[in-house]
Structure 1
Amino acid sequence: MSKTVNPATLGLIEAARAVAQGRISAQALTEACLARIADWQPRVNAFIKLEADAALKAAKAVDRARKRGAKLGKLAGVPLAHKDMYYRAGRETSCGSAIRRHWKAEDTATALQRLDAVGALDLGRLNMAEFAFGPTGHNYHYGHARNPWNTDRITGGSSSGSAAAVAARMVFGALGSDTGGSIRQPSHYCGLVGMKPTWGRVSRAAAMPLSYSLDTVGPMTTRVEDNALLLELLAGADPRDPTASDRPVGRYVAAVRSGAVRGLKLAVPRRYFWDKLNKPSAECLEQALKVFAKLGVKIVEMAPPDMAPITAAANILVSAEATALHGNWLRTRPNLYSDQVRARLENGLALSAVDYIDAQRWRSEAVAAFLAAMNGADAIFAPVADRPAPTIAETDVAGKPEAGKVIATLTRLTRPINYLGLPGLTVPAGFVRGGLPVGFQLIGQPFDEEMLYRLAGAYEAMTRHYERVPA
């Protein structure tokens, strides 16, 4: 490997291939990431707990296995780290909270087991919004995560540490979770590829729940192909999670590599999704649409159904289910919650069983209406958020009357897709003035993640935004 290339800035698949071919040792790759962490962690606060010694020990074991000719897993020796809500037996898992600051899990999440099985290294536990219940990245117990492109700006949440760590090239990929936009929105703010798969596509066993009806597990990476590989490894049925689908896992990496998008149809829902989009973001997304058009993709207008009741129904589900999960702690340890999270949980107490049942009952009707509005399009192209990352100061609204409005604004374009259960993939669209990233989301038919990766892969090959790295 060239000495001029920092190994930590490689793509995930590139790094795995370099280790497998002996062009770099797993130890050297891990040390490159640790050096990057030493530089960036004080700036962005991505990690709650770094587990460097364990990762180096595992890396050396990979190197010994390669030297003796043992067959290596697809991610052998590749450093990853994950949102601190994925349980690992015997390890502390805080879920970004004071309540679970020293809690140790008794089981290991299926998602972690599947990455362990292919040799991935785990560098530690990443920062997150408290109990994954916040879209900004603020955390009043462990410190706020900061955006590597501008540390005065938010990462987005709740997968804040995952976004910061991957964007700063501290690790090659990370697990996030998405209940109202918590993978897609931080990926937009930090210039990443982030997949919220179809509800049920990836097991949630031994991962902290927030809202059973909406929670999804997905990967965050710098490149589309890397993201596709992680989803291939993560997806599939799991006897430990009855909601995990037994539908066959797609050939996601092959979809990225195919490059065959000519003749596909991309629907653009101007109404609602473009209503509040600021001018720099709109210009960036229009350029992205031009790239798709050059690739031979047909761009068509779409009239979406009324999104307001869809968002309202999603809010009912997350409020009721989260409050039910936290009911005992709300009664016995309310003082250990931050003001913002406690206030949001208490709001759920005002909902009736009728409200909740109506929100569940209307779901299939809303999905049918949304898919019908696609009118045969292969996917939807939409903004992720109305603007690039706002500042940490202007979104620091814990305990303030405007908190609800700020939260609603940040998740307005992502939360409806969680209610509909559809796959959504954030793809970097470039940068606006001042160097802040902007992304778009591709929304697909249920379990058609392959189509999203196919489109995203062709777009990325033309634009290569991942080559720009935070300085």
Structure 2
Amino acid sequence: MTDLTRLTAAETAAKIAAGEVTAVAVTEAHLARIEAVDEKVHAFLHVDREGALAQARAVDEKRARGEQLGPLAGVPLALKDIFTTEGIPTTVGSKILEGWIPPYDATLTRRLKDADVVILGKTNMDEFAMGSSTENSAYGPTGNPWDLTRIPGGSGGGSSAAIASYEAPLAIGTDTGGSIRQPAAVTGTVGVKPTYGAVSRYGMVAFSSSLDQGGPCARTVLDAALLHEVIAGHDPLDSTSIDAPVPAVVEAARNGDVTGMRIGVVKEFAGEGYQAGVMQRFNESVELLRELGAEIVEISCPSFDKALAAYYLIAPSECSSNLARFDAMRYGLRVGDDGTRSAEEVTALTRAAGFGPEVKRRIMLGTYALSSGYYDAYYGSAQKVRTLITQDFAKAFEQVDVLISPTTPTTAFPIGERADDPMAMYLADLCTIPSNLAGNSAMSLPCGLAPEDGLPVGLQIIAPALADDRLYRVGAAVEAAFTARWGHPLLEEAPSL
């Protein structure tokens, strides 16, 4: 493995800006790494070799002309295959969009390009971001670089695996119920769900519009902050975009200090169903924060116990509406259009062939929840629970600056173990879902390896809406303290592929 693939994004950008290495050399090193290991990992659905090298050459030309480079210029990135990218495929992990080439860039994609970030390609994901393991991809599962027989999390397992296997120093994910944070937790990486509306959703294929949020994935807190700053900001093309300044996340990541902070431990995120080793590492994180000068406060959020049930009514309901646009009439897959069938028959045949089992399950559940006679009992009641959860957060943040919990109740489970048990799969997002329902910000970062299986455990930090900088302040402090204690970043303990 070349040393260039082991550098952080911040280190890489600094070397490119100083002329110590070219962006082309960095890009070629990561393309070589992808070629060497991705057949085993399957993090990528599409590698844009020519496009990536063209972007890298443009960065080198700018530097040669003496132009000022941005903080991530020339740094390679893996992009979740849910954001439209002009000229290269966007499949959303589904057969129904196989081969579709978007005619435009998502706002997030455009901001990456404008910042001279080099997009290596598109990463594997659960179909339409529906899943917690990346086993629901129509193109096959992704392996966890720590143990290729285990899941890399979901729905953004391709992005997390690309980072953990050193195929890219940065990645983009989306988080509807934990799909940035849960993969980060089980791969020993950093993942951030920004405040809802802080990162544009224009050009991001919708699953659940009131919950979906793009965000940064990285190997360090600082790298995540640098990427966060690039992709965040108001977008007039997105009606849900917040017209507010981006919090000072990079400054917070460079100056992590929790002295005097009040940090709440969520009482409801413990007990039955939590792996012993996960709780052991979480409790060690609590003590570490206390040693660093934080005041630890136990917080009860009673409505959190109902979050999972509420989410699995709200998200499928919105999914059943959003996925109605895939009708075989405008773009994507078309089955049975031989001139003998009606438009309705072609639509039915296309959806039957193009959507996978999990997508069909959620469409049916959501359609039922929205149907006449059941709307108030199911969808309406779930929205009331959502309000209660938001109120619980508001009360908690009157007492503390941030909340902490395990990111997910267990470490990475074996591929196939929960394939026939949707409820067991859904429980992987138990700790992450409340933040999506409330729209506030949250981060997962590594806090050690579980003693039972030697696999990564994630610490979740939750902050109020538009206080994303608090995540990076606490995250940077925890990361520095753990790295000093371990003597190296956690990922260095991962087996070599």
TM-score (norm 1): 0.94
1:267 corresponding residue in structure 2: 264
1:150 corresponding residue in structure 2: 147
2:206 corresponding residue in structure 1: 209
Evaluate the alpha carbon distance shift between residue 274 and residue 299 of structure 1 in structure 2; reply closer, same or farther with a 3 A threshold.
farther
Q: Does 1:391 align with 2:409?
A: no
Tell me, in whole angstroms, the C-alpha distance in 2 between the residues paired with 1:246 and 1:134. 31
1:48-447 alignment runs, 5 A limit: 48-327=45-324, 329=326, 332=348, 333-352=351-370, 353-354=375-376, 355-360=378-383, 363-397=386-420, 402-403=421-422, 405-433=423-451, 434-447=453-466
Q: Which runs of 5+ in 1 are unaligned?
A: none
SS in 2 for 1:271: coil
Q: Residue type of the partner of 1:298?
A: E
Q: Which runs of 5+ in 2 are unaligned?
A: 328-346
Range moving further from structure 2, 441-450 or 68-77: 68-77
Note the C-alpha offset of 1:64.
2.4
SS in 2 for 1:123: strand
Note the C-alpha offset of 1:206.
0.6
On the 8 A contact 2:188/2:458 being kept in 1, the answer is yes
SS in 2 for 1:293: helix
Note the C-alpha offset of 1:141.
2.2
Tell me, in whole angstroms, the C-alpha distance in 2 between the residues paired with 1:272 and 1:439. 13
Note the C-alpha offset of 1:467.
5.3
Tell me, in whole angstroms, the C-alpha distance in 2 between the residues paired with 1:374 and 1:419. 16
Range moving further from structure 2, 382-391 or 307-316: 307-316
Note the C-alpha offset of 1:426.
0.3
Residues 332-360 of structure 1, C-alpha deviation per residue, up to 9 Å, x if partnerless?
22222222321222111211333334433
Range moving further from structure 2, 80-89 or 335-344: 335-344
Tell me, in whole angstroms, the C-alpha distance in 1 between the residues paired with 2:305 and 2:274. 17
Range moving further from structure 2, 308-317 or 100-109: 308-317
SS in 1 for 2:444: strand
Tell me, in whole angstroms, the C-alpha distance in 2 between the residues paired with 1:409 and 1:73. 40
Residues 115-170 of structure 1, C-alpha deviation per residue, up to 9 Å, x if partnerless?
11111001111101111111111145211011000000001110011010011111
Tell me, in whole angstroms, the C-alpha distance in 2 between the residues paired with 1:222 and 1:250. 21
Tell me, in whole angstroms, the C-alpha distance in 1 between the residues paired with 2:225 and 2:307. 28
Tell me, in whole angstroms, the C-alpha distance in 1 between the residues paired with 2:325 and 2:66. 53
Note the C-alpha offset of 1:329.
4.3
Tell me, in whole angstroms, the C-alpha distance in 2 between the residues paired with 1:205 and 1:80. 19
On the 8 A contact 2:270/2:279 being kept in 1, the answer is no
2:491 corresponding residue in structure 1: 468
On the 8 A contact 1:211/1:321 being kept in 2, the answer is yes
Q: Residue type of the partner of 2:449?
A: F
2:467 corresponding residue in structure 1: 448
On the 8 A contact 2:125/2:137 being kept in 1, the answer is no
Alignment identity in percent?
35
Evaluate the alpha carbon distance shift between residue 71 and residue 124 of structure 1 in structure 2; reply closer, same or farther with a 3 A threshold.
same
TM-score (norm 2): 0.89
Tell me, in whole angstroms, the C-alpha distance in 2 between the residues paired with 1:466 and 1:38. 25
On the 8 A contact 2:171/2:216 being kept in 1, the answer is yes
On the 8 A contact 2:96/2:354 being kept in 1, the answer is yes
SS in 2 for 1:220: strand
2:335 corresponding residue in structure 1: none
Tell me, in whole angstroms, the C-alpha distance in 1 between the residues paired with 2:323 and 2:43. 26
On the 8 A contact 1:128/1:161 being kept in 2, the answer is yes
Note the C-alpha offset of 1:373.
3.3
Tell me, in whole angstroms, the C-alpha distance in 1 between the residues paired with 2:227 and 2:137. 31
Tell me, in whole angstroms, the C-alpha distance in 1 between the residues paired with 2:395 and 2:363. 34
